[in-house]
Amino acid sequence: MSTCARAALDLREPLAGTAATARTWLLIEQPGPWGARALTASRLDAALGAALEAAAEGTGVRVALIRRPGGRPAGPGGPRVVAAHTLPGRTWTHTARLPRLEALRSLDLPALGAGDPASFDALGGAPYDGPPLALVCTNGKRDRCCALLGRPLAEELALTAPEEVWETTHLGGHRFSPTLLVLPHGYAYGRAVTTEVKEILRATAAGEVVVDGCRGRSCWDRPGQAAELALRERLPGARPDDLAVTGVEGAATGWEVALAHRDGRRWRVTVAEGTSLPPRPESCGGTPGTPRRMDVVAVREE
């Protein structure tokens, strides 16, 4: 059976610069089935889901549903909600249990997107100080690759890390399944396998970044993601918050991305938009297309 993930793998479509963009993630535990647009097609109240989706528009917040592998119900105290801000130097992850998810209507999403957790903490949120969290996209209603490839990965990881692993509804890039988001820093990965994910989680806990298989850090736009990963390949050992994108100039098909190391060094990275050929489906059952790709042309230290 042909799938979009098999086509992208066979054609060696690059991963860098393909992560979903979000400065802050708002993740709501919702066990049970999910539809293609899960915020309004699940056991979450559809009106609440639509309100959160609309309120998040343009704020830098991305809202998604999560559940435990194997269909585990929410624990005592109500569903778990996770808010995570991913900008370097300002990274935080807070969690709460909410007996009534309607309380989420009071969230100040622009402030959350800017990195202020006050409105979340007013609902009972508190800093999360546990090991890194792994979120695996498993929503087969969105794309069958997420179910066929993502669910087995999530279930296998949960055998040894049951509190660290969640299934989630949508991380973008079905053709890179299994896809994975790792918090607190917000690096996304594609074509993940169990042994590699375990190494990613170990490295994240140790303050390291695994570049192999990485799609990018979600707080950056696509050119910034590609530029940061290209620089990390040249700076092995750079810690998650050592590098920051400080500016992106350009539009349409070419950009100059400025990056800074917290030790004062600076670089400019030239990124060009390419086209992945030959045509391939970007989603199972979709019409073959030519996805955009981010190609790093040059890396120059200033």
Per-residue pLDDT of the chain (302 residues; tens, 9 = 90+): 469 999 999 999 999 999 999 999 999 999 999 999 999 999 999 999 999 999 999 999 999 999 999 888 888 889 999 999 999 999 999 999 999 999 999 999 999 999 999 999 999 999 999 999 999 999 999 999 999 999 999 999 999 999 999 999 999 999 999 999 999 999 999 999 999 999 999 999 999 999 999 999 999 999 999 999 999 999 999 999 999 999 999 987 899 999 999 999 999 999 999 999 999 989 998 899 999 999 999 999 99
Global pTM reads: 0.96
Rounded CA-CA distance 57/166 in Å is 24
Amino acid at 255: W
Q: In DSSP terms, which residues pair with 300 in a beta bridge? A: 268
Give the C-alpha distances (Å, rounded to integers) separating 27 from 12, 153, 187, 189, 248: 31, 20, 16, 18, 28
**Helices in 60-139 by DSSP H: which ranges?**
109-114, 118-121
Given CA atoms 175, 59, 210, 29 in this order, what sign does their dihedral have? Answer: negative
The token pair that represents 116 in the structure block? 């202020």
Give the containing element (helix H, strand E) for 245. strand 243-251
The token pair that represents 47 in the structure block? 């009106």
pLDDT of residue 27: 98
The token pair that represents 190 in the structure block? 């594609």
Rounded CA-CA distance 30/81 in Å is 9
Rounded CA-CA distance 295/298 in Å is 9
Long-range contacts of 97-104, Cβ-Cβ distance < 8 Å, separation of 24 or more: 97/124, 98/123, 98/124, 101/28, 101/44, 101/45, 101/48, 102/45, 102/48, 104/26, 104/28, 104/48, 104/52
**Are 194 and 161 spatial neighbours (Cβ–Cβ below 8 Å)?**
no
pLDDT of residue 253: 86
Strand 214-217 and strand 266-275: the pairing is unpaired
Rounded CA-CA distance 250/270 in Å is 10
**Are 85 and 12 spatial neighbours (Cβ–Cβ below 8 Å)?**
no
pLDDT of residue 2: 67
The token pair that represents 32 in the structure block? 């049970």
**Residue 113: HSE in the Cβ half-sphere, 13 Å Cα cutoff:** 15
Q: Where are the beta strands (DSSP E) in 75-228?
A: 80-85, 92-97, 126-127, 133-137, 165-168, 180-183, 187-189, 214-217
DSSP 72: P
**Helices in 73-164 by DSSP H: which ranges?**
109-114, 118-121, 144-145, 151-160
* Among 135, 226, 215, residue whose Cα is nearest residue 175: 215
